[in-house]
Amino acid sequence: MKRGKKDRTGAAAAFRRAGILGAAVLGACALAGGCKGAEEAAKDSIRIGISLYRGDDTFINNIRQELEKCAKAYEQDTGIKVHLDIEEAKGNQYTQNNQVERFIALDCDVLCINPVDRTAASAVIDKAMAGNVPVVFFNRQPVEEDMNRWDELYYVAVSAKESAVLQGQIVVDSYREEPSLLDADGDGVISYALLEGESSHQDSLIRTEWSIQTLKDAGVPIERITGGIANWERSQASALMEQWLVQYPDMIELVICNNDDMALGAIDAMERAGVSGIQVVGIDGTTPGLQAVESGRMMGTVSSDKEAYAQAIFTIAADKALGRNVAEDIALEDGKYYNCPQKIVKYIKNSYKNE
Ligand code: BGC
């Protein structure tokens, strides 16, 4: 999508759509031609080193695509060349540490790191501090102690509790609208199975806890049939669900999933087994997740605004690279945290049930 000079406010519009536009939020892309400082005027290119914990994660790939769009739009708007060095760490922290070293050796102005092991961010931070290169972490949250080590560290994500409460709300609303959709056997209780992400990921624990708590708080009668860790992965979720369908025949009415890929895995297993009538909810609003909701294969998901997510990462990174004051462009909590907005996406007609 081309963005002409007149469309410079695209980034700000994205933030505005996200409902976070105070006077504070403009977005670096929106600041075309606004770099008046001598230091800024001198720079005609910036280099950003990006390391992803894995390259095959659907959600992370959605963010990567948005980041690439941000860089292109920024170049068109400002005439400043953006070099994005994007690496995938293949789930190996050691590999990621080497990528960080290489980025610093390449003279990157700023790093955007999606940590493999969020509890081991200190090695990345050590290298960044030694090279005086600011870091924008995203999606996998370093521990607070690490985040407090340097004032050039930032973190962008979605609030795990908010995702979970919204996911719970999808079920609560659907149950209130039509109880039989979720209580298929009419015994007055929703029997559910739970698919969880990596046990070390902050989102898994919080999403599981608050999703269930939201149902309890709303007085929805629930009973846990089973649950398991599928590490965010569609294939692992599919294998677990396949097993559960055999182990608990006609018992599961709802599958609550910590993310969309696992929800899709559960649906894959149901489709393979020829089972219908089990409702599935996810979180993320990935491209295939949204398609599944649209077609009625998934009851609903909580969709994070990927454009605003990537824009926040890019805005901080570009500001840092140009020596700008980040606080002027984006409202951060405690000067370093940004939570991206998210919303419920729900299937309206109950065609899935009637398939
Ligand atoms: C997303 C998952 C993703 C994981 C990767 C979570 O916040 O919901 O889809 O696999 O982050 O770290």
Render pLDDT for 33-48 as a digit per residue (tens, 0 to 9). 333 344 445 689 999 9
CA–centroid distance, 198 to ligand 1, in Å, is 9
Q: How far is CA 42 from CA 135, 266, 327, in A?
A: 22, 53, 22
Amino acid at 137: F
The pLDDT of residue 42 is: 63
Amino acid at 310: A
CA proximity to 319, closest of 306, 308, 328: 328
Does residue 214 contact residue 160 with C-beta atoms inside 8 Å? no
The position carrying tokens 């998210």 is 342
Q: Is 233 in the pocket of ligand 1 (CB under 6 A)?
A: no
Q: Is 140 in the pocket of ligand 1 (CB under 6 A)?
A: yes
Q: What is the pTM of this model?
A: 0.89
Using one digit for the tens of pLDDT, what is the confidence trace for 17-31?
Answer: 333 333 233 344 444
The pLDDT of residue 166 is: 98
CA–centroid distance, 22 to ligand 1, in Å, is 28
Q: Is 137 in the pocket of ligand 1 (CB under 6 A)?
A: no
161-303 adopts what CATH topology? Rossmann fold (3.40.50)
Q: Which atom of ligand 1 is nearest to the CA of 158?
A: 7
Amino acid at 90: K
The pLDDT of residue 230 is: 98
Please tell me the residue having the least CA distance from ligand 1 atom 8.
259
Q: Which CATH class is domain 8-150+306-340?
A: alpha beta
The position carrying tokens 């960044």 is 128
The pLDDT of residue 352 is: 43
CA–centroid distance, 232 to ligand 1, in Å, is 6
Tens digit of pLDDT per residue, the chain (355 long)? 333 333 333 443 344 333 333 323 334 444 433 333 444 456 899 999 999 999 999 999 999 999 999 999 999 999 999 999 999 999 999 999 999 999 999 999 999 999 999 999 999 999 999 999 999 999 999 999 999 999 999 999 999 999 999 999 999 999 999 999 999 999 999 999 999 999 999 999 999 999 999 999 999 999 999 999 999 999 999 999 999 999 999 999 999 999 999 999 999 999 999 999 999 999 999 999 999 999 999 999 999 999 999 999 999 999 999 999 999 999 999 999 999 999 999 998 744 443 3
The pLDDT of residue 44 is: 95
- The residue ranges of DSSP E strands in the chain, in sequence order, are 45-52, 81-88, 110-113, 135-138, 153-157, 190-196, 222-229, 254-257, 279-281, 300-304, 337-339, 342-346
Q: Which atom of ligand 1 is nearest to the CA of 157?
A: 7
| Other CB atoms within 10 Å distance of the CB of residue 315 | 30
8: tokens are 């410079």
Q: Is 59 in the pocket of ligand 1 (CB under 6 A)?
A: yes
CA–centroid distance, 46 to ligand 1, in Å, is 28
* Residue spans per domain, the chain: 8-150+306-340, 161-303
Q: Which atom of ligand 1 is nearest to the CA of 232?
A: 10
All residues at 6 or more sequence positions from 105 whose CB lies less than 8 Å from its CB, including other chains: none
Calpha distance 166→10 (Å, rounded): 27
Calpha distance 308→179 (Å, rounded): 35
